[in-house]
Structure 1
């Protein structure tokens, strides 16, 4: 193993060095390892997505109904067709045929206004953000339109990953981060103008290879990005210049097996807790201490009443009471092989994960 210097672009002409460990050959040239992990079982699942015989289900988001946790909702993308809304019983509450939506996130930007946004890859040359409003009482989505955000004349680019962070300036509803398939992460301000929501591109940072999963820790202002064959990086989005720093790299030390896919956060206190990552290469999920990037546990969703998961892309986690089956929080994972049915999303009690790995809630 040798230390190599890696360059990440954070704007026109800017090269930022970061260190990581790498061998002389790519990850794909070696047999994938299979690291130990504890088993948990799902306590629910969603109705399969409508696109059968395809890699279609991709990324979930969770809206917790604070007044009635059992009435909370799950959103999930069918990247061939659109966006689903599910109840905790897994049944479909709504579906919007919105095209090739890949990753989804949501924010309650003000009381009663749940803003849902997704990366729209319907046009592989023109990345867009699809916007919706979620009615928590009915589970219905209202389309707010699709927004381009890059300047005219940009090079062809395909939208891929997506996540949102809190607003950072007056007039903003949220910050949007679109991970393009070439490794670029574009930051935009979602703003409200005379009742319409616009996406104003602010700046970008580029990773060397394909990236997708991302999540923002609003407490610290850190954006975490999964570069699939390399590992997880953090970026301080409060800083004047975006700089990528290594958080946890693929390999035994972090317990990550490429591809590294979906990311989610279990916060604790002011800035503690864990980052959860989909270690797709060995069908596991890794808990990484936010303070150090070191693993505190690994788990797999094993066969049970609702089946195991494999080849997981997107994940989501929200802490809090979701009813009897999810008293300490809800973890949702895309299942890449739900045969003989189409792909779907599995629901897991976060308390069951905490108990299994011994991690403090």
Structure 2
């Protein structure tokens, strides 16, 4: 999510094993160039601006995914969420192909659909055969929604195949849905040993992550069942023996949004926005490990209810050096030799950090970059929420792959309304900047 003036403060205790895992993270020297010295990578294209208007609803760009058309790579798609504005599909020129509205409110006083994150599942077995699916988290209704991808279907490539009886993800009743502590971040995973498809879903204003098995329903529809949940810490033991929680509005815990699964070994990377990046098994077994922390980690803060902001104290120096809160979009770059990167949006300083994806190498930091303007009419990316990378040929436009990043401040924007969109970046230039 874009940073709000409301910071977050968690108030509950955590298990000893998680606190110990966080404390064990060693301090690292800062080998990253500062400020404008970072490599600058310009976008090649951008989608039309999204904002609140009568035609498009409360549209706000958030999270993208890249679907590769194996038969015709230059006809691949970028599928992206627009929150209350629903779901968008774009071609590789960043032109709109299809717009799907979010579901309406189901009753008086209830929230409408709000699509937060999106990811893809390849060749999921349905009752009508295999299909590629776009999966979205509907924060408004605390559900997942599913869209079959058929590139040349008349009327648009996306068809809603959500089982009408699909359950809520976290909420026990409508009252809990109305509180909007609902399905938030999302990553998909296919277990190669069983062929089963899963979604990992985080919970808004909570530290929970749920593992959901994706299941076929009647008539080609899709539903899911919860397998297990895992709660990350909300309080952390610092090296000086004190406890620390990220500052926030009372009752809000440090949530996770950006997530990605490495299919090579079933490793889930999860960005706890005000804390750092966790690594764990995608089946949510075992002990998560905090592989890097935000700079603000350990900094005390006091929440002011009148300003809805935090007053921060002195920095004790326990934080990281590569990420500035919030940690947002996480995505994976895979290479043919097995190497590659985990990319993370460092939203607080408008940069992207890259980590080695090899678990045995302890996800060593490999460098950072910015997405900067390509000219007077094509700006860069600021306060990036979601990101998606695909390291595969995508026709003549992106022969070395594509990186799509959300821009939280599209320019030139509208002074009276938030202006957001998505930037399309040549992944080859990103990889060159990290060499």
TM-score range, shorter chain: 0.7 to 0.9
Asked if the contact 1:84–1:92 (Cα under 8 Å) also holds between the matched residues in 2, the reply is yes
Instruction: Give the whole-Å Cα distance in 1 for the aligned partners of 2:325 and 2:171.
Output: 35
CA distance, structure 2, for counterparts of residue 152 and residue 38 of structure 1: 44
Please give the residue correspondences for 1:315-330 in structure 2 after superposition, counting only pairs within 5 Å: 315-330=387-402
Asked whether 1:69 is paired with 2:73, we answer yes
Which 10-residue stretch deviates more, 89-98 or 52-61? 52-61
CA drift at 1:74: 0.3
- TM-score using structure 1 length: 0.84
Secondary structure, in 3 states, of the residue corresponding to 2:432? helix
Which residue number in structure 1 is paired with residue 315 of structure 2?
none
Q: Structure 1 residue 39: deviation in Å? A: 0.2
Residue 348 of structure 1 is matched in structure 2 by 425
- Aligned match of 1:235: 280
Is the CA contact (8 Å cut-off) linking 1:59 and 1:334 kept in structure 2?
yes
Aligned residue number for residue 151 of structure 2: 136
- Closer, same or farther: CA 235–322 of 1 in aligned 2, 3 Å: same
Pair 1:82 & 2:93 matched: no
Contact 1:55-1:336 at 8 Å conserved across structures = no
Aligned-pair CA distance for 1:246: 1.3
Spell out, residue by residue over 1:297-352, the C-alpha distance to the aligned partner (whole angstroms, 9 max, x if none): 11101111321110000000001111333221100000000133431100000101
Query: Which stretch shows the higher mean deviation, 346-355 or 108-117?
Result: 108-117
Match of 1:247 in 2: 291
Do the aligned partners of 2:212 and 2:225 also contact (CA within 8 Å) in 1?
Answer: yes
Q: Distance in 2 between matches of 1:184 and 1:102?
A: 16
Q: Is 1:190–2:190 an aligned residue pair? A: no
**CA–CA distance in 2 between the matches of 1:20 and 1:307?**
37
Quote the residue 2:256 is aligned against.
Answer: 211
Where structure 1 has 5 or more consecutive residues not aligned to the other structure, the ranges are 1-5, 23-32
Q: 1:248, 1:294 within 8 Å by CA — same for their partners in 2? A: no
> Contact 2:51–2:58 at 8 Å: present in 1 too?
no
More strand by percentage:
1
- 1:163, distance to aligned residue in structure 2 (A): 1.0
TM-score (norm 2): 0.70
Note closer, same or farther for the CA distance 1:288–1:307 as it changes in structure 2 (3 Å cut): same
Gaps of 5+ in 2: 1-11, 25-33, 103-112, 235-253, 296-318, 414-418
Q: Which range moves more in the overlay, 69-78 or 146-155?
A: 146-155
Match of 1:287 among 345, 354, 357: 354
Distance 2:170 2:116 in 1: 22
**Structure 1 stretch displaced more, 60-69 or 266-275:** 266-275
Match of 1:60 in 2: 64
Correspondence 1:82-231 to 2 at 5 A: 82-98=86-102, 99-110=113-124, 113-123=131-141, 127-138=142-153, 139-145=156-162, 147-150=166-169, 153=172, 156=176, 157-167=181-191, 172=196, 174-181=197-204, 182-194=206-218, 195-207=220-232, 208=234, 209-231=254-276
